[in-house]
Amino acid sequence: MYTMIKLKYNYKDLEPYYNSDMFNYHYNVLYKGYTDNLNKIINEFDVDRKNDNFNNIQSLSKRFSFNSNAYILHSLFFENLTPMPNKTLLSTELVNHIKKDFVSYDAFIDELNAALLNIEGPGWVVFGYDKFLDKLLIIQIEKHQELILIDFIPLLVIDMWEHSYYLQYNTDKKEYIRNLFYILDFEVVNNRYNNIYLT
Ligand SMILES: [Fe+2]
C-alpha cells in the first residue's frame, strides 16, 4: 500500500510563492487521486494473478505507468519544496559536476529554464543523473510517463502541468518558474545527489 508523503512544512508557509488553495488542491485532491489509483491498480494486478486472467494486461500496464509515475513525481516534487527561501545552495561537488556535464553553470541554468518554458503539453522537467550513461541531464517528461529514461535518478523535480500554477499564475509560466525557485529545497537535491554514490 502506497501512501502520500508527509510534508515537512505547512503549505500555507509556501505563500506568496505558491498559493495555499492551489497547493491544497494539488496535494489533497490530485496527488491523493494518483496515490489511490496506484493502489487500486496494484490490487487489480493481484486479482488477475489469482484468477490467472491477463486479458487486461495492456490497459492495466498503461494505467500503472501513468499513475505510478504521477505518484513518484509528485512525491519527489513536494519533497523538494521548502518554505524557507534561499535556505540552501547546491553543494560544491554537485556544482562542479554540473560544470563538467553542462559546459558551465550558466548554461545549465539557461537549459533548465528553456526546458521548463518549452514543455509540450502537460509534463515535468527533471534534473537528474543517468547511472548507465554516467551523466547529469535535464529531461522533459510528457504527461507523467513519456520520455522517461530507464536508468535515470531524479535530483530536482518540477511540476509543469497547468494544475500546478494556473490558479495563481494563469498562463504566466515565467512568473511561476521565477517564484518556484524561491521555494526549491537544494538540501534535498544535495542529499539525493550524495545518495547516488551510496547505492
Ligand atoms: Fe501535479
- pTM, to two decimals: 0.96
Q: Please check the confidence at residue 25 and state whether its pLDDT lies above 90.
A: yes
The predicted pLDDT at position 86 comes to: 65
Same-domain pairing of 96 and 154: yes
Could you tell me the CATH number of the domain that includes residue 39?
1.10.287.990
Same-domain pairing of 101 and 156: yes
Alpha-carbon gap, residue 30 to 67, rounded angstroms: 11
85 is a domain residue: no
The predicted pLDDT at position 184 comes to: 95
For ligand 1, the distance from its centroid to the CA atom of residue 93, given in whole angstroms, is 30
Same-domain pairing of 105 and 127: yes
Where among 34, 56, 79 does a domain terminate?
Answer: 79
56 is a domain residue: yes
Mean pLDDT, rounded, of the chain: 96
The predicted pLDDT at position 199 comes to: 63
Same-domain pairing of 50 and 141: no
Could you tell me the CATH number of the domain that includes residue 139?
3.55.40.20
49 is a domain residue: yes
For ligand 1, the distance from its centroid to the CA atom of residue 50, given in whole angstroms, is 34
Q: Which three cell numbers stand for residue 155?
A: 535530483
AA identity, residue 61: S
Q: How many domains does the chain have?
A: 2
Q: How confident is the model at residue 187 (pLDDT cuts 50, 70, 90)?
A: very high
Alpha-carbon gap, residue 156 to 170, rounded angstroms: 24
For ligand 1, the distance from its centroid to the CA atom of residue 159, given in whole angstroms, is 6
Write the CB contacts of 95 (distance below 8 Å, at least 6 apart in sequence).
105
Same-domain pairing of 99 and 64: no
Asked whether the beta carbons of 130 and 147 are under 8 A apart, the reply is no
AA identity, residue 189: V
Q: How confident is the model at residue 198 (pLDDT cuts 50, 70, 90)?
A: confident
Q: Which three cell numbers stand for residue 16?
A: 506568496
Please list the alpha-helical segments (H only) found in 103-165.
105-117
Same-domain pairing of 68 and 150: no
4 is a domain residue: no
Percent of the chain clearing pLDDT 90 (strictly above)? 95
Q: What pLDDT digit, counting tens, does each position of 154-163 carry? A: 999 999 999 9
- Distances in whole angstroms, Cα of residue 91 to Cα of each of 88, 95, 115, 123, 133: 9, 6, 22, 27, 22
Domain carrying residue 42: 19-79
Q: What pLDDT digit, counting tens, does each position of 82-129 carry? A: 998 667 799 999 999 999 999 999 999 999 999 999 999 999 999 999
Cell 529554464 identifies what position? 113
The predicted pLDDT at position 189 comes to: 97
For ligand 1, the distance from its centroid to the CA atom of residue 77, given in whole angstroms, is 8
12 is a domain residue: no
Over residues 39-54, mean pLDDT: 97
Where among 52, 79, 106 does a domain terminate?
Answer: 79
Burial 6-27 (b: 16+ CB within 10 A, else e): eeeeebeebeebbbeebbeebb
For ligand 1, the distance from its centroid to the CA atom of residue 31, given in whole angstroms, is 7
For ligand 1, the distance from its centroid to the CA atom of residue 162, given in whole angstroms, is 8
Same-domain pairing of 157 and 130: yes
Q: What pLDDT digit, counting tens, does each position of 51-86 carry? A: 999 999 999 999 999 999 999 999 999 999 999 866
Same-domain pairing of 53 and 132: no
Same-domain pairing of 116 and 174: yes
The predicted pLDDT at position 77 comes to: 98
